[in-house]
Amino acid sequence: MPEASTYPGDLVLRAGKACAVLRPAAGGRVCSLTLARDDGRIVDVLFPYTAQGVDLLRWAKGGIYPLLPYSNRIANAQVQTPDGLVQLSPHPDAAPHTLHGPAHGMAWTVQAHDASSATLMLDHPASAAWPWHFQSEMRFQLREDALQLEMTLTNLDERSMPGGLGWHPYFLHVPTAQLRYQASQLWDSDADFLALSARPLPAGESFAIARALREGTMTDYLSGWDGRLELSLPEGDVLQMQTGTALSHLVVHRPPQGGYLCIEPVSHVTNAFNLAAQGIAGTGSVLLACGETISGPMTLSLAPLLS
């Protein structure tokens, strides 16, 4: 395997007819993913990322990117910690709040790779965007019918650090798509997409995207998710997602035009650190001691065809 290095171009993984294109310089993003059936048929999975560069403020949609060291928004770009209030840099398009953390807008280093696997690393010193030193790895392993991904987040700062992680995929989508998942709670949110409080999700509503089909757009924050779901793809294939226990929250976002569907497995609800500081339970917020690591695996695979 090559030594650790910067990688200016695309890194292409292949396993039989399956292919995953990674772009380390663009936040370690998976730009495209095609998986293969036993009969050799190729299945496109992701709404592709086609941008040539990296826009740190208004990034192009598509592919899969990492959510590090937190998911979604932090209210008023301020984090309540045991040491007091910490100020962050707001995101211009989400001001006065932050959005999705800095990792997806930075160049990642290729630690190792071969024909079907790769390991990327990011060392992030304290900055205005996140004033704690952290390190992260992403590992990718491609099979013909599946892509296995895992990310880690390690606090390298001398202080305890609030932390979280997740994946932000954009899946190919049509209005007739079926989404099946099981979750126990749905979070109410405000006009700025900040979570407020959780309420029980009736079992009959846990297996559906029916509300999105009625309304045309949606952003749902779910918790108590069991880490498994199924999504029908445009050509009739069914994609399965499975994650680890750390990713027990789920964001389902469909834009007004409905051209793609974002299904984001994450470790916490939006604005979790501040909600937890207010005494709200079930946010997924964690505080990492110096040297402590959390990890978030995810596998995307094709469901077997019915005989």
Q: Report the C-alpha gap between 195 and 48 in whole angstroms.
A: 29
CB 130 within 8 A of CB 105: no
What predicted TM-score, i.e. pTM, was given to this entire model?
A: 0.94
pLDDT at 286: 97
Mean pLDDT in each 10-residue stretch from start to end of the chain (307 residues)?
Answer: 61 97 95 94 95 74 97 96 94 92 94 97 97 98 98 97 98 88 93 94 61 63 95 93 97 86 97 97 97 98 80
pLDDT at residue number 306: 62
Q: Please tell me the distance from the alpha carbon of residue 179 to that of residue 252, in angstroms, as a whole number.
A: 10
pLDDT at 3: 44
Q: How far is CA 297 from CA 82, 150, 216, 294, in A?
A: 29, 4, 30, 10
Give dist(CA 189, CA 294) in Å, integer.
Answer: 27
DSSP state of 204: G
8 Å CB contact between 204 and 264: no
Mind listing the domains of the chain with CATH numbers?
11-302 (2.70.98.10)
Instruction: Return the pLDDT at 215.
Output: 54
Give CA–CA dist 307/302, Å, rounded: 15
| pLDDT value for 7 | 64
Q: What is the pLDDT of residue 274?
A: 97
Give the model's pLDDT for residue 216. Answer: 60
